[in-house]
Amino acid sequence: MNKWVVVYFAFLFSGFLSAEESNQFEIGKQKAKVCMTCHGADGIALIDPYPNLRGQRASYLVSALKDYKSRERTSGLAILMQQQADTLSNQDMKDIAYYYSMLGSESQDKME
């Protein structure tokens, strides 16, 4: 295969991923509206005991949400997060985690 054909398809594929990532960011942003009450609109918590989510690893956030949902996290204000996590599907968790993981990154600037 001609190397220019490979470069062309790689360019097209990278554009597709950017559009898909941008879409997931916006979906996550919409799903995270309720999270913003405690964790802030920009992922920086407004109230001291609540953690900042901005720039946190997506895999960590998904794991934490699953732990709340399964009641493996029980300390502090866990009951509030358990109630929130109960309403989330696995896809919701992935979308919200992606949104917060991208906040403040260079990639996020390109998406908005």
11 lies in some domain: no
Domain count, the chain: 1
Can you give the pLDDT at residue 111?
A: 52
Given a contact cutoff of 8 angstroms between Cβ atoms, the answer to whether 102 and 20 are in contact is no
Question: CA-CA distance, 46 to 38, in Å (whole number)?
Answer: 6
pLDDT tens track for 43-99: 999 888 999 999 999 999 999 999 999 999 998 889 999 999 999 999 999 999 999
pTM for the whole structure = 0.78
58 lies in some domain: yes
CA distances (Å), origin 86, targets 46, 93, 98: 23, 11, 19
12 lies in some domain: no
Question: CA-CA distance, 8 to 105, in Å (whole number)?
Answer: 27
24 lies in some domain: yes
| 22 CB burial (10 A radius; 0-12, 13-18, 19+) | middle
Range of the domain at 85: 20-102
